[in-house]
Amino acid sequence: MFRPLMRTSMIAGMALALFAAGPAAAASPWGEGYLPDAPLTDQDGRTRRFYSDVLKGRIAVIAFIYTSCRDICPVVTARLAQVQDRLNQERRDKGGAERAADPVFVAISIDPVTDTPARLKDYAEAFGVGPGWSFLTGRPEDIELVRYKLGERSRKLVDHSKTILLYNDATGEWARDSAFGDLTVLASTIRAMNPAFSAGTPAATGGAPAIGEASIAPDLPGQSLFLKTCAACHTVGGGTRVGPDLAGVGSRRSRDWLVSYVTDPQRMRAQGDATALDLARAFPSVRMPNLSLSDTDAADVLAYVEAMTYGAREAAKDKEASAEPADAHAHHHHHHH
Partner 1 sequence: MQEAERARENRLEIVKAHSHGEITKRDMFRWGIYGASGLIAAKHGLSPFVRSAYAAVPTGTPASPLFGAQKFHEPLNRAVVQPRIPLVAAAGSDDVLWMDPNGRPYANEMPGRRLSYHDEWSKKGANWQRLSNPLTGRGPCEGRPPGEFFAHQRWSKDPTSANRDLFPKVGYIMSLGQCRSSTKYCNEMPAQNANAMWSFGPRQAGWRGSNSGSRLGYGAPCLIKARYGEPLLTRIYNDLPVDRTQNGGFGRNEISTHFHNAHNGAESDGACNAYHFPGTFYDYHWGTTLARRDMPNIRAFNDPNYQRKASGPDDGTGLVMVEGDYRELQGTLWFHDHRFFFTAENVHKGNFALCNYYSGPDRACTSVVDGVNLLLPSGDSLPWGNQDFDVNLAVTNPAFDKDGQLFFDIFDTDGFLGDMLAVNGSYYPYMEVLPRRYRFRILNASMSRFIKLAVAVNNSRTFSSGTTVPFWFIANDGNLLVNPVQLMEMEEQGVAERYDIVIDFSAFADGDSVYLVNLLQQTSGMKPDGAVSMSNALKGVAADPCVGPIMEFRVRRGGIKSVDDPSRTYTGLEADPSADFSTSDWKGGLRTLTTQIPVVAPVRERVIEFNRSGGGDSRDPKTGQCIPECGTIESFPWAVKINGQAAHSLNANRIGALVPKPGEVEYWTLVNGGTGWDHPIHLHFEEGITLDRGGASIGPTEKLVRKDVWRLRPGGTVRFQVRFGEFGGSYVNHCHNTVHEDFAMLLRYQLLTPAPNDPDFAKTGSRPHWQISNTPIPSPDGVTFRVPEVLPEAQPTFKPPTRA
Which residues sit opposite 106 in a β-bridge? 62, 134
Determine the Cα–Cα distance for residues 88 and 86; give it in Å rounded to an integer.
5
Determine the Cα–Cα distance for residues 229 and 74; give it in Å rounded to an integer.
10
260 binds partner 1 (CB under 8 A): no
* Residues between 222 and 241 that touch partner 1 (CB under 8 A): 222-225, 227-229
Residue 132 vs 221, nearer CB to partner 1: 221
User: Helix (H, G, I), strand (E, B), or coil: what is residue 166?
Assistant: strand
Q: 109 phi and psi, to 5 degrees?
A: -75, 130
Contact in structure between 86 and 183 (CB atoms under 8 Å): yes
172 binds partner 1 (CB under 8 A): yes
Q: 176 phi and psi, to 5 degrees?
A: -105, 155
Determine the Cα–Cα distance for residues 134 and 124; give it in Å rounded to an integer.
9
Cβ-Cβ contacts under 8 Å for 54 (sequence gap 6 or more): 40, 48, 60, 104, 106, 134, 136
Residue 292 vs 327, nearer CB to partner 1: 292
307 binds partner 1 (CB under 8 A): no
User: Helix (H, G, I), strand (E, B), or coil: what is residue 30?
Assistant: coil
Instruction: Give least dist CB 245 to partner 1, A.
Output: 21
156 binds partner 1 (CB under 8 A): yes
184 binds partner 1 (CB under 8 A): yes
Residue 149 vs 337, nearer CB to partner 1: 149
Instruction: Give least dist CB 319 to partner 1, A.
Output: 25
How many residues make contact with partner 1 (CB under 8 A)?
Answer: 100
User: Judged by CB under 8 A, which of 57, 96, 128, 151 binds partner 1?
Assistant: 151
114 binds partner 1 (CB under 8 A): no
300 binds partner 1 (CB under 8 A): yes
Instruction: Give least dist CB 283 to partner 1, A.
Output: 20
User: Helix (H, G, I), strand (E, B), or coil: what is residue 246?
Assistant: coil
User: Judged by CB under 8 A, which of 56, 88, 121, 221 binds partner 1?
Assistant: 221
CA dihedral 129, 243, 161, 157 (to 10 degrees): -110
User: Judged by CB under 8 A, which of 280, 299, 307, 316 binds partner 1?
Assistant: 299
* Residues between 192 and 211 that touch partner 1 (CB under 8 A): 192, 195, 198, 200-203, 205, 207-211
